[in-house]
Amino acid sequence: MKEGGVSQSRSRDHYSYTVYADPATAQSFDERRFGGPIGELVASEQARILISFVGEIRGRSVLDVGTGTGRAAMLMARAGARVTAIDASDEMLSIARRRAIDESLTVAFSLGDVHDLGFENRSFDIAISLRVLMHAADWRESVAELCRVSDRLVIFDYPSAMSFAALQAAVRRLTHALGVRTEPYRVLSRQAVTRQLDRSGFRIRSIHRQFFLPIAFHKAIGSQRFTVALEGLFHKLGLVRLFGTPVTLVAERCN
C-alpha cells in the first residue's frame, strides 16, 4: 500500500490526459518527437544523458513515469534494470508493450498517474520522468511523488523559463485559450525546481541543457551537422549553459 502520497483525484478533462488518450496522437508521437535527423539527434542525446546520469544500472529497480511509448523504460531494460513503467494513456501503453515484445524486453507496464503513484515510499532505486512536468496538471505534486517513491535518484526534464521555449509556451497558452487544440505546456525555473526538490529531501547532482535555439528551428533546417556545429558554438560562448533547453537533471536523496 502506498504511504504518504496524495489522494486528490484529477480531472480527466485536463489536456495532458485527453491529448495522449487519442489513438492518432499516440501513433504519431515518436515520429513527431524523434523522427528525422534532428529527432534522431534528440533521442540519441537523451539516451546518452540518461545512461550517464544513472551510472551502473544492472539489477537496480527503475520506475519510468509517463513512459509514453516506452523509450526510456526500454533503454533501462536493455541495460539490465528491473523496470516498471506507467502512463495515464492506454493508447501509449499499447504501443510501448508492442515495442517491448518486439525487442524481447521485460518491462512491467501499467496505467498510472504522476500525481498519485500507487507505490510505497522508496519503492524504487531510481524514478525517471521525461516530458511530463511540462504538461502535468500540478508539477510540484508530481515532483513530490517522484521523490517519495525513489530511494536514490530522480531524473526528469523540463523546458527552461530562461530560454526561447518560454516564448513558444506563451503562444501555445494563448492559442489554447482561443480554442485551438494544442498542448499549452509550462516552462520552469531552476530556482522553483530546486526549492521543490529541497522540500522533498533531494538535491540536484547534475544538469544538462541541450539546445540554445528552439528544436523547431533545427528541425526546419533538418541537418544534424549544422545543428551540432551551431549549438557547439553556443556551448563555447556559454549560451547553452545559461539559456539552453530542455533541461534534464538528476537529483539525489539527501535524507
- Kindly state whether residue 4 falls inside one of the protein's structural domains: no
- Kindly state whether residue 216 falls inside one of the protein's structural domains: yes
Report yes or no: 188 and 161 within 8 Å, Cβ to Cβ: yes
How many Å apart are CA 6 and CA 117, to the nearest integer?
8
- Kindly state whether residue 3 falls inside one of the protein's structural domains: no
- Kindly state whether residue 2 falls inside one of the protein's structural domains: no
- Kindly state whether residue 8 falls inside one of the protein's structural domains: no
Q: Is 240 helix (H, G, I), strand (E, B) or coil?
A: helix
The letter for the amino acid at 149 is V
Query: What pLDDT does residue 189 have?
Result: 97
Q: What's the domain range around 211? A: 15-253
Distances (CA, A) of 114 to 101, 209, 215: 25, 23, 26
- Kindly state whether residue 1 falls inside one of the protein's structural domains: no
Domain count of the fold of the chain:
1
- Kindly state whether residue 7 falls inside one of the protein's structural domains: no
C-alpha cell of residue 87? 502512463
Map grid coordinates 508539477 to a residue.
139
- Kindly state whether residue 9 falls inside one of the protein's structural domains: no
For position 164, which CATH number holds? 3.40.50.150
C-alpha cell of residue 95? 504501443
Q: Is 43 helix (H, G, I), strand (E, B) or coil?
A: helix
Report yes or no: 87 and 111 within 8 Å, Cβ to Cβ: yes
pTM over 0.85, yes/no? yes
Q: What is the pLDDT along the chain (255 residues), one digit of tens a residue?
A: 344 444 344 556 787 787 777 788 778 888 888 899 999 999 999 999 999 999 999 999 999 999 999 999 999 999 999 999 999 999 999 999 999 999 999 999 999 999 999 999 999 999 999 999 999 999 999 999 999 999 999 999 999 999 999 999 898 888 878 887 777 889 999 999 999 999 999 999 999 999 999 999 999 999 999 999 999 999 999 999 999 999 999 999 997
